[in-house]
Amino acid sequence: MEIRPILSSLRRHRIPAVLIVLEIALACAVLGNAVFMIGQRMASIHWSNGIDEAGISVITVNGTDPALAASGIPRDLAALRGIAGVTAVAAVTSMPLDQNPALTGFTTTPDGKTTVNTSVYFLGSGGEQALGLHLLQGRFFNADEYADSGLKDFQSTGHVLLVTQSDAQRLWPGQGALGKTLYANGKSWTVVGVVSDVLAQDPKFSGPGGRYSSVFYPSRPDSMMGDYVLHSAPQDRDRVVREAVQALGRLEPGAVVEGETYAQMRTDYFADTSSMVWMLVLVCVVMLAVTAFGIVGLTSFWVGQRRRQIGIRRAVGATRSHILQYFQTENLLLSTAGVVLGMVLAFGINLYLMQRYEVARMPWYYLPVSAVALWLLGQLAVLGPALRAAQVPPVVATRSV
Amino acid sequence: MFGYYLDLAWRSLRRTPILTGLMVLAIGLGIGASMTMITVLHVMDADPLPGRSALLYTPHLDPLPLKFNGFSVGHDASDHLTWPDAVALLNAHRAQRQAAMAGGDLLMRPEAVDLRPFYVNGRYTTSDFFAMFGVRFEHGSSWRAADDMAGAHVVVLADSLARKLFGNVDAIGKMVRLGENDLRVAGVTADWYPSPLFYADDRAKRYSDHDQFFLPLSTAVDLNFDVDGSVDRWGKTLNVDMRSATTTWLQFWVQLDTPTQAAAYKHFLIDYSAQQKSLGRFQRPASNARLYSLMGWLAHENLVPSDVRLQLWLALGFLFVCMLNIVALLLAKFLRRSGEISVRRALGARQRDIFVQFGIESAAIGVIGGVLGVLIAEFGLWSVRHRPDDYAHVARMDVSMLLATLVLAVAASVMAGLLPAWRACRVAPALQLKTL
């Protein structure tokens, strides 16, 4: 296929050619960034969490008399254990993704400085089993540690804690974390176990560094423990929540008792991200449709402008498929120029967004993805007009000047 | 000629309904999406107290140690004051009116047996709060200035809460049980929903929260009420007393009537910081002290989440794509009528007459597209109102945004039509006439 005739023809019809290149380039740039934003948000919705999310329900109790916590909590736990289907239950101060951050900065030396705020969780006896934490190294807390530890001013009075895998690697790279000491605000604790990564109470507030930075302490029953974690089979969760709210409502008549499954808590946390994803998908689809219409409209007009040339070519011996190939090749050249320009634009837009809006750098494989999509769109859009052009009869050449 | 061009435009649009429909759809979608996000931004940036906001300021001090360990994305612990600093500013009386405040979320136990206990949001503040922000009282009044620091057990309720607790009976003088304490109702204010809740801290939901009770700040500290908001502590050992000098949790607002008073107050803040530095309490430079105006404070707080700004850019990018495609479609549409153009030129029309004719045709498409754009923007705002975000429910179109939509639609389509119209008016008439 001779390229030179196509190029010289394009040089004479600059405006439509430039318009098609720009349409494809702009659509490619916007699509690339939109798809990247969709990818980022889908990734955040699927952040892994080192607890048994499918089996947990959470009951929050607010407004109990703090002085009665030492006796009230064990009584409530006994009542909750009695519910059919509940395999484990414990009292805790907060849950991952409950949007009430309780953060402390921990260091490995008494005078160190940290830039990561760690989410702090206090677990009542049996908390590790109720949450379904995965132990990677070391051990969970034993009964003595639960009995000896409390919390005062949101600091543990005990001597032990559990850290997550990410923190173990960040704080003591290359060494084991077991037996090491963590310091905060003049106190210190020893690491007895490492668990797989658990999300922070508010990962978006804590930022990327604090997302999986979590620390677990053991504690006696304390008035700060406003959450009861119940572990059951997934199919029993709704019934367990209902019965638990009723049971606690009877036992704590002056308090506000609310219950939901952990899966619902997670969905609520990411609800705004999900709606943003849907909106981005809608914008991408509509934009591709509008671009397709624009290209089809312009190309069918432009092909119509060149009826006489097509007729002359057919009259001197070109076949229908030659004409079709000509227009497909011409469109290929324009689409290629368009996607190259579009990839450059997409990269440039991403750099700008990185500076102004803390967007991450777009990985290189998003550029070819949007390029291929627009290239295919361009080729399909020209198919209709090109087929119509191929139907032009040779006799057109003999008409008029 | 304007009426004639409109007539020509109308005929031409009717002759190619599909093409016209596509162009109107493209304009409508692009404009609708852009105006949805522009309206959301317009509403979120709005002035919460028009008429008073020019007089209100918030001081900013920097009591943090030089090596401060606390760090969260976007949160600055020095945005709030410590108790000693707030009391010092209150006692100095350098402003027309002044109030220190913090948020509270307390358990209310109603006397009525059919109401279960529930949590209410409110504010711990000083008595000047109501006069300074122009909060109207339905019954009673606020507590006296003397009660501010005396720890009096009084509370002011919002009208909706008073009705919920007491029905239509006058609530003044009645006792309510907040947490474990009984407080006497001294006044009932009209319901007040400033949007955004400019005086709240950065953890508050600025567009959906509102305060339903107010009580004296010293009472809240004496009775150890929970603070609903950011509380930052530092120091080698943590001191949990709310009156300590190493805990920031209070917001402070002043009313300064003239710019000279504002400048004088700023000097006072810098002098105060220098004095605290010489006493050894402050470690950072005294020039870190600042005075923000209300709108300046909202800009500093960056209330518009970056998600919303990204969506605005995306919508504008989408509008640009739509406009480019309309340029292509208009080019096709206008050049197809080369025969008609050359007839007009032969009859005496100049090049600029053709240009104006097609400019008016583009504007006509813009008007129809603008109407569609308004409908699509209304639909877009409806879907924003159903989002779970904090700002969702304030997304509503007002008259200025409606007019802006139509103006933007016409401007966009006229701009899109410039290149095609210019190309069309350069058509060589003689060549076209020969092939008619």
> How close B134 comes to chain A (CA, Å)?
32
**CA of residue B287 relative to chain centroid, distance:** 30
Calculate the alpha carbon distances from A262 to A234, A364, B148, B248, B390 in Å: 11, 36, 43, 33, 22
Radius of gyration of chain B (CA): 31
Instruction: Answer with the one of A224, A254, A284 that is the final residue of a domain.
Output: A254
pLDDT at B73 (0 to 100): 61
Mean pLDDT of A355-366: 85
Counting the structural domains of chain A, the total is 2
Domain match, A29 and A128 both: no
Residue A243 has pLDDT above 90, yes or no: yes
Residues B163, B174: Cα–Cα separation, whole Å: 13
Domain match, A69 and A31 both: no
pLDDT at A12 (0 to 100): 86
> Could A153 and B238 be called an inter-chain contact, meaning their C-beta atoms sit closer than 8 Å?
yes
Residues A219, B234: Cα–Cα separation, whole Å: 24
Instruction: Answer with the one of A254, A283, A316 that is the final residue of a domain.
Output: A254
Domain match, B140 and B200 both: yes
Mean pLDDT of B301-314: 85
* Contacts of B182 by beta carbon, 8 Å cutoff, 6+ apart: B153, B175, B176
> Could B328 and A23 be called an inter-chain contact, meaning their C-beta atoms sit closer than 8 Å?
yes
Mean pLDDT of A376-381: 88
pLDDT at B126 (0 to 100): 92
Domain match, A296 and A386 both: yes
Mean pLDDT of A240-258: 90
Instruction: Show the CA angle centred on residue B129, arms to residues B124 and B132, nearest 5°.
Output: 165
Counting the structural domains of chain B, the total is 2
- Domain span at residue B418? 2-45+305-434
**CA of residue B249 relative to chain centroid, distance:** 23
- Nearest CB partner across the interface for B387, out of A114, A185, A272: A272
pTM: 0.84
Domain match, A162 and A244 both: yes
Domain match, B26 and B69 both: no
* pLDDT tens digits, one per residue of B388-410: 888 888 888 889 999 999 999 99
- Nearest CB partner across the interface for A254, out of B33, B117, B327: B117
Is residue A54 included in any domain, yes or no? no
* Residue in the structure block whose two tokens are 């740039």: A29
Q: Helix, strand, coil: what percent of chain A each, to 5? A: 55, 15, 30
Is residue A239 included in any domain, yes or no? yes
| Percent of chain B residues past pLDDT 70, beyond the cut | 98
Domain match, B137 and B250 both: yes
Question: What are the chain A neighbours of B325 within 8 Å (beta carbons)?
Answer: 23, 290-291, 293-295
Radius of gyration of chain A (CA): 32
pLDDT at A291 (0 to 100): 92
Which is more confident, A392 or A259?
A259
Is residue A75 included in any domain, yes or no? yes
Q: Which of B278, B241, B309, B282 is nearest to A353 (CA)?
A: B309
Question: What are the chain B neighbours of A115 within 8 Å (beta carbons)?
Answer: 71
Instruction: Show the CA angle centred on residue B64, arms to residues B59 and B68, nearest 5°.
Output: 140
Domain match, B395 and B324 both: yes
> Could A295 and B313 be called an inter-chain contact, meaning their C-beta atoms sit closer than 8 Å?
no
Residue A227 has pLDDT above 90, yes or no: yes
> Could A185 and B235 be called an inter-chain contact, meaning their C-beta atoms sit closer than 8 Å?
yes
Domain match, B288 and B379 both: no
- Domain span at residue A353? 4-46+272-398
pLDDT at B179 (0 to 100): 81
Domain match, B196 and B337 both: no
A181 three-class SS: strand
Which is more confident, A255 or B376?
B376
Amino acid sitting at position B175: M
Domain match, B74 and B174 both: yes
Is residue A259 included in any domain, yes or no? no
Domain match, A179 and A75 both: yes
* Cα dihedral B143/B145/B151/B156 (nearest 10): 20
> How close B153 comes to chain A (CA, Å)?
20
Domain match, B31 and B126 both: no
Question: What are the chain B neighbours of A120 within 8 Å (beta carbons)?
Answer: none
Other Cβ atoms closer than 10 A to B414: 17
* pLDDT tens digits, one per residue of A55-91: 999 999 988 888 888 888 999 999 999 999 999 999 9
Is residue A345 included in any domain, yes or no? yes
Domain match, A205 and A341 both: no
Q: Which of A206, A180, A183 is nearest to A193 (CA)?
A: A180
pLDDT at A381 (0 to 100): 87
ipTM over the 0.90 cut-off: no
Is residue A174 included in any domain, yes or no? yes
A vs B, Cβ pairs < 8 A, gives 149
H or E segment and range at residue A120: strand A118-123
Domain match, A92 and A226 both: yes
Mean pLDDT of A85-114: 89
Residue A103 has pLDDT above 90, yes or no: no
Domain match, A225 and A279 both: no
Nearest CA in chain A to B226: A63
Domain match, B57 and B15 both: no
Mean pLDDT of B138-159: 87
> How close B383 comes to chain A (CA, Å)?
10
Is residue A138 included in any domain, yes or no? yes
Confidence of residue B74 (pLDDT cuts 50, 70, 90): low
Burial class (CB in 10 A: 0-12, 13-18, 19+), B399: exposed
Instruction: Show the CA angle centred on residue B125, arms to residues B124 and B130, nearest 5°.
Output: 125
> How close A40 comes to chain B (CA, Å)?
12
Is residue A56 included in any domain, yes or no? no
Check: CB of residue B206 under 8 Å from CB of residue B197: yes
Domain match, A244 and A114 both: yes
Residues B280, B274: Cα–Cα separation, whole Å: 10
* Cα dihedral B283/B288/B291/B293 (nearest 10): -130
